[in-house]
Amino acid sequence: MKRKLIQTLISNLFTASALCLTAQLVLICTGILPQLNLPRFGINFCVAYPTATLIGMLIPADLLGIAIHQFLNLPFRSFRFSLVMSLCINLIVTFLMTAIMTCLNVIILEGQGLFAFLSSYRGNFLPMYAASCLVSWFSQPFAQRVVQQKFPALLTPDSNP
């Protein structure tokens, strides 16, 4: 449990940052936002980071990846296995994160309604999913290496969970 928490905290630093940046880039590309807005990025990050961490700790998204892995009969610890796991976990995380962050930005901060929320969600989901997959693909191994090097006691069978 401690190892998962530390890995989730480390990888979500990158993921939450990337999702906040991606959301602003989508708004810039659609002409809604003229440039990067650092205060808005900060507000979004302060919500996205703990939310992503809670999702990572509380929702067993890896079970979907394992179920699909078993259905497709993929070899464990192969590239295809890692890819399927990443796609499945990020699908669930992005689905929830996009809903929460779109609600924050469209409804709470901008005061718009359900139609604007649905329109924004539709336009944000695929870029957010792509960013989430890409960033997690690199941040997960980094987080695992940090745990192995800085917290080796968490990897031994005798350590407390």
Q: Which pLDDT belongs to residue 133?
A: 92
Inter-residue contact 68 to 84 (CB < 8 Å)? yes
pLDDT digits (tens, 9 = 90+) for 91-137: 999 999 999 999 999 999 889 999 999 999 999 999 999 999 999 88
DSSP code at position 151: -
**Total H helices, total E strands in the chain:** 5, 0
Cβ distance 1 to 147 under 8 Å? no
Which pLDDT score is estimated for 98? 94
- pLDDT (average), residues 41-60: 93
Q: Is residue 161 part of a domain?
A: no
Residue 160 counted as domain residue: no
- Position 68 in a domain: yes
Place of tokens 């302060």: 46
Q: What is the pLDDT of residue 34?
A: 92
Domains: count for the chain: 1
Rounded distance, CA 99 to CA 125, Å? 9
84 within domain boundaries: yes
- Which domain covers residue 91, as residue numbers? 2-155
Residue 26 lies in a domain: yes
Asked whether residue 83 is assigned to any structural domain, the reply reads yes
Return left, alpha or beta for 31; rule: phi > 0 is left, psi -120 to 50 is alpha, else beta.
left
Q: What is the pTM of this model?
A: 0.82
